[in-house]
Amino acid sequence: MPADRGRPPAPPTISEVAAEAGVGRATAARTLGGYGYVSPELKERVLAAAEKLGYRANALARSMSTGVSHTLGVVVADIGNPFFAGMVRGICDASRARGFDTIVLSTYEDLDEEIAATGVLIDKRVDGVIIASAAVGRDEVTHIRTALKQGVPVVLVDRAVGSLDLDTVVIDNRDVAREAVETLIAAGHRRIGFVWGPPVAQAPATRRALLAAAARNVWTDGERLRGYLDALDDAGVPFDPELVMVGPKTEEHATEEVGRMLALPHRATALFCTETDAMTGALRAMRARKLSYPGDLSLIGFDDSAWAAVMDPPLTMIEQPVRRLGAKAAEVLLDSLEGAEPRRETHTLQARLVVRSSVAPPPAR
Amino acid sequence: MPADRGRPPAPPTISEVAAEAGVGRATAARTLGGYGYVSPELKERVLAAAEKLGYRANALARSMSTGVSHTLGVVVADIGNPFFAGMVRGICDASRARGFDTIVLSTYEDLDEEIAATGVLIDKRVDGVIIASAAVGRDEVTHIRTALKQGVPVVLVDRAVGSLDLDTVVIDNRDVAREAVETLIAAGHRRIGFVWGPPVAQAPATRRALLAAAARNVWTDGERLRGYLDALDDAGVPFDPELVMVGPKTEEHATEEVGRMLALPHRATALFCTETDAMTGALRAMRARKLSYPGDLSLIGFDDSAWAAVMDPPLTMIEQPVRRLGAKAAEVLLDSLEGAEPRRETHTLQARLVVRSSVAPPPAR
């Protein structure tokens, strides 16, 4: 490279030191940053590699090794949900690669627990917080504003919160839901059940009331409902509130509600299921009536899994980029910890419809 | 109740105050203990209820509200595994009921990460730690001994560690594995594949070498292998190393290895799958060969899930009491924090074989 002649070689990075030492980047970062545990053998290898390559901690790394706890805090709605478990994995991997540990609290969708969890993370002096929040209204975000006031940066993940102007990393729930319902419409369906809708006691009679109910609940659920309505509108398929499940978000209730939709005079011929338990509930209702898919009923679900792929026939499912979602949230937060200007923007990742064999034309009437 | 006449009434408990105030026990405990966040409205209701019932904090509650952070730390091998996610849910619920928050770190089966995670929890001054440890040997438990030396009690969960004399809460993996394999033998099977065994490169030729390899890996895996061998021995079925999968614990590798077992001259007619991905890998291998269950191949798997129940036919699976496992670990730890003498015993919970429709006699040869 003649153009580079005479320039000093670029200084080695932590990654290069890690590769030379044959250790992970997190181990190299811990050793060179002088924090956290590293076994004596690995520490020696890292220091030998750093000396060989002429590594010198840069100013940023030095500033990061003082006054920073190298810990990120994560508050998720339900760590028992494989979606959030995968997201947390993405956060852990991305933060480890930059030398940070991650501690997680799960709130099980209870806003009071979310407020307490955020307080615990501030008490434990984490450097920043990632929250998948159950908050909806302006009066429900005081705990997040408190964290910000105390100088703890916050990134929202999976769920946008309208009243907060923060960096937010989400998946395009509305677009991919529309694509799924369009796929059902293209196969000839016009009676498409939506499982599940907002957890209200009574089915709202109008789409306006339904959207208002959704707006008072989790952001992702509302977006999926909007995508369903978009697809119906685009195709001129009339909206029928009898085809929307409301009430408790449980497998048992999904089984009942799908049973009801299958018993309507003009029954559902396809279902769009927005959660794993909505799909397994739908499958139970179908089996109880000796119906099979896709001949009697077409099915598309959220979220893809190893099980969905080995069902017979395999299910057409929406695959969310769960690990990338977590990794992106961690990167946005770490960039701001390292001095990047917060851009307070919404980063939207694309989900993907994985087409398998659970969609067919509706049965002849 | 004449016998009680003249005795002063028993003092009200935190639970009774919570019920009177119409709030959760954790909220009442936070208010009365003077720690953590409680919304002003709820705090007022709790204090009014406490006054009405004549609640007085007892000495224990007072000692607990000073010098204690009311936080438990949990270190799990993989929060992305639904087993651990369910266990963490059990820990959170049980500790919340006694006024403690829970913070979780996931190590993804990396011992260096487990050591770092334990260090983070000590730094963050948690009151006690629950660990599902990847440690096996005596030289791998220094981090746990360090925590104990610093006065942080540790309870082991899911995985016993031979060299540590600590309270340990586990599931009877060996007994339930034996029961599963006995069920297959009772149906007439003698060629029963074990998916998966220890992650060694070469299949050990003898059962002794196989058990030695298992002893160097995760405790639960070794116990399940012992249960498999117990059942073969009891029935006089010869052990065949060709029917044991070794190598990487992935769905892809399970698919390959089950394919190999199905291509043997004297092929496997039944499989005992010790993890979800082992089962989905087995199903893929079977489908690729146009075999169906239970006619061509009988199947029993670990761990039960909503998907396993809606498979067609539904799968016979082992259901582990994952939430109770976590709750019991939390209770043992909280009892020791509240002054109970550590009993350093192993608490064993029973798993359950959920019989459905994936076991039948072997096909005629």
pLDDT of residue B8 exceeding 60: no
Give the type of residue at B281: G
**Residue A317: Cβ within 10 Å count:** 27
Domains B2-64 and B71-171+322-349 share a fold: no
Residue A320 is classified by DSSP as P
Please give the residue of chain B at the shortest CA–CA distance from A278. Answer: B306
Separation of alpha carbons B144 and B152, rounded Å: 9
CB burial string B152-186: b at 16+ within 10 A, e below:
bbbbbbbbbbeebebbbbbbbbbbbbbbbbbbbbe
Answer yes or no: do B308 and A312 touch at CB < 8 A. no
Looking at residues A138-151, what average pLDDT do you find? 90
pLDDT > 90 fraction of chain B, expressed in percent and rounded: 66
Looking at residues B138-143, what average pLDDT do you find? 89
Strand pairing class (B352-354; B316-319): antiparallel
Counting Cα atoms < 13 Å in the Cβ hemisphere of A125 gives: 10
Q: Measured between alpha carbons, how far is residue A166 from residues A112, A155, A247, A343 in Å?
A: 21, 6, 31, 8
- Residues of chain A positioned with their CB less than 8 A from the CB of B30: 116
User: Choosing among A103, A255, A312, which should be mutated to test the B contact, i.e. which has the most B CBs within 10 A?
Assistant: A103
Answer yes or no: do B30 and A116 touch at CB < 8 A. yes
Looking at residues A259-268, what average pLDDT do you find? 98
Separation of alpha carbons B305 and B83, rounded Å: 10
Closest by Cα among B49, B32, B29, B31 to B40: B31
Given this model, what pLDDT does residue B57 score?
Answer: 54
Separation of alpha carbons A255 and A276, rounded Å: 12
Is residue A32 very low, low, confident or very high in pLDDT (cuts 50, 70, 90)?
confident
Instruction: Please give, rounded to a whole number of angstroms, the shortest distance from the CA of A263 to a CA of chain B.
Output: 21
Given this model, what pLDDT does residue B293 score?
Answer: 98
Answer yes or no: do B119 and A36 touch at CB < 8 A. yes
* Coil vs helix vs strand at A166: coil
Answer yes or no: do A115 and B71 touch at CB < 8 A. no
Separation of alpha carbons A5 and A244, rounded Å: 69
Cβ pair B304, B70 in contact under 8 A: no
pLDDT of residue A283 exceeding 50: yes
Cβ pair A27, B112 in contact under 8 A: yes
Is residue B63 very low, low, confident or very high in pLDDT (cuts 50, 70, 90)?
very low
Closest by Cα among B278, B286, B281 to B318: B278
Minimal Cβ distance to B120: which of A101, A118, A287: A101
Separation of alpha carbons B143 and B2, rounded Å: 57
| Structure tokens belonging to residue B57 | 């904090």
Minimal Cβ distance to B88: which of A106, A119, A277: A106
Please give the residue of chain B at the shortest CA–CA distance from A83. Answer: B80
Answer yes or no: do B310 and A283 touch at CB < 8 A. yes
Strand pairing class (B346-349; A128-131): unpaired
Instruction: Please give, rounded to a whole number of angstroms, the shortest distance from the CA of B54 to a CA of chain A.
Output: 26
Cα dihedral sign, B239-B134-A132-A346: negative
Given this model, what pLDDT does residue B89 score?
Answer: 93
Digit-coded pLDDT (tens) for B229-284? 999 999 999 999 999 999 999 999 999 999 999 999 999 999 999 999 999 999 99
| Structure tokens belonging to residue A365 | 């009437």
Separation of alpha carbons A194 and A190, rounded Å: 12
Separation of alpha carbons B271 and B263, rounded Å: 14
- Residues of chain A positioned with their CB less than 8 A from the CB of B102: 105-106
Where is pLDDT greater, at B95 or A25? B95
* Coil vs helix vs strand at A209: helix
Minimal Cβ distance to B251: which of A104, A115, A306: A306
Digit-coded pLDDT (tens) for A48-96? 888 788 776 543 343 344 456 889 999 999 888 889 999 999 999 999 9
Selection from A284-298, B4-18, B116-130, B157-171 with the highest mean pLDDT: A284-298
Q: What is the 3-state secondary structure (H, E, C) of chain B?
A: CHHHCCCCCCCCCHHHHHHHHCCCHHHHHHHHHCCCCCCHHHHHHHHHHHHHHCCCCCHHHHHHCCCCCCEEEEEECCCCCHHHHHHHHHHHHHHHHCCCEEEEEECCCCHHHHHHHHHHHHHCCCCEEEECCCCCCHHHCHHHHHHHHCCCCEEEECCCCCCCCCCEEEECHHHHHHHHHHHHHHCCCCCEEEECCCCCCCCCCCHHHHHHHHHCCCHHHHHHHHHHHHHHHHHCCCCCHHHECCCCCCHHHHHHHHHHHHCCCCCCCEEEECCHHHHHHHHHHHHHCCCCCCCCCEEEEECCCHHHHHCCCCCEEEECCHHHHHHHHHHHHHHHHCCCCCCCCEEEECCEEECCCCCCCCCCC
Answer yes or no: do B85 and A82 touch at CB < 8 A. yes
Instruction: Please give, rounded to a whole number of angstroms, the shortest distance from the CA of B10 to a CA of chain A.
Output: 31
Looking at residues A142-155, what average pLDDT do you find? 92
| Structure tokens belonging to residue A290 | 């000796």
Given this model, what pLDDT does residue B2 score?
Answer: 40
pLDDT of residue B60 exceeding 90: no
Q: Measured between alpha carbons, how far is residue A289 from residues A251, A258, A261, A263, A364 in Å?
A: 17, 11, 12, 10, 18
Token pair 């761990």: residue = B303
Separation of alpha carbons B63 and B85, rounded Å: 32
Separation of alpha carbons A327 and B77, rounded Å: 19
Left if phi > 0, otherwise alpha if psi is -120 to 50, otherwise beta: which for A54?
left
Strands of the B71-76 sheet, one edge to the other: A346-349, A168-171, A154-157, A128-131, A71-76, A101-106, B101-106, B71-76, B128-131, B154-157, B168-171, B346-349
| Structure tokens belonging to residue A56 | 């010198």
User: Choosing among A25, A30, A35, A37, which should be mutated to test the B contact, i.e. which has the most B CBs within 10 A?
Assistant: A37
Given this model, what pLDDT does residue B32 score?
Answer: 75
- Fold for the domain defined by A173-321: Rossmann fold (3.40.50)
Closest by Cα among A160, A107, A149 to A329: A160
Tell me if the domain spanning B173-320 has CATH number 3.10.20.740: no
Considering chain A, what is the average pLDDT of its residues? 89
Digit-coded pLDDT (tens) for B17-50? 888 898 887 788 777 766 666 777 888 888 888 8
Given this model, what pLDDT does residue B10 score?
Answer: 59
Is residue B4 very low, low, confident or very high in pLDDT (cuts 50, 70, 90)?
very low
- Residues of chain B positioned with their CB less than 8 A from the CB of A26: 113, 116
Given this model, what pLDDT does residue A93 score?
Answer: 93
Q: Give me the residue spans of the domains in chain A.
A: 2-64, 71-170+322-349, 173-321
Digit-coded pLDDT (tens) for B101-118? 999 999 988 898 999 999
Chain centroid to CA B56 = 37
Given this model, what pLDDT does residue B311 score?
Answer: 96
Cβ pair B355, B309 in contact under 8 A: no
Given this model, what pLDDT does residue B326 score?
Answer: 98
Digit-coded pLDDT (tens) for B79-94? 888 899 999 999 999 9
- Fold for the domain defined by A71-170+322-349: Rossmann fold (3.40.50)
Cβ pair A37, B111 in contact under 8 A: no
The CATH classification number of B2-64 equals: 1.10.260.40
Please give the residue of chain A at the shortest CA–CA distance from B40. Answer: A112
Minimal Cβ distance to B283: which of A92, A104, A310: A310
Cα dihedral sign, B282-B285-B290-B296: negative
Please give the residue of chain B at the shortest CA–CA distance from A80. Answer: B85
- Residues of chain B positioned with their CB less than 8 A from the CB of A104: 79, 103-106
- A80-84, B2-6, B316-320: which has the minimum mean pLDDT? B2-6
CB burial string B26-36: b at 16+ within 10 A, e below:
bbbbbbbbebb
- Sorted by sequence, the CB contacts under 8 Å of residue A94 that are 6+ apart come out as A326, A327, A328, A330, A331, A334
Minimal Cβ distance to A120: which of B103, B105, B120: B103
- A41-45, B158-162, B285-289: which has the minimum mean pLDDT? A41-45
- Sorted by sequence, the CB contacts under 8 Å of residue B38 that are 6+ apart come out as A112, B27, B30, B31, B46
Given this model, what pLDDT does residue A34 score?
Answer: 62
Chain centroid to CA B115 = 20
Answer yes or no: do A108 and B89 touch at CB < 8 A. yes
- Fold for the domain defined by B71-171+322-349: Rossmann fold (3.40.50)
Q: What is the 3-state secondary structure (H, E, C) of A72-105?
A: EEEEECCCCCHHHHHHHHHHHHHHHHCCCEEEEE
What number of C-beta contacts closer than 8 Å exist between A and B?
145
Separation of alpha carbons A102 and B325, rounded Å: 24
DSSP for A250-279 reads SHHHHHHHHHHHHTSTT--SEEEE-SHHHH
At CA A275, angle to CA A270 and CA A278, rounded to 5?
55
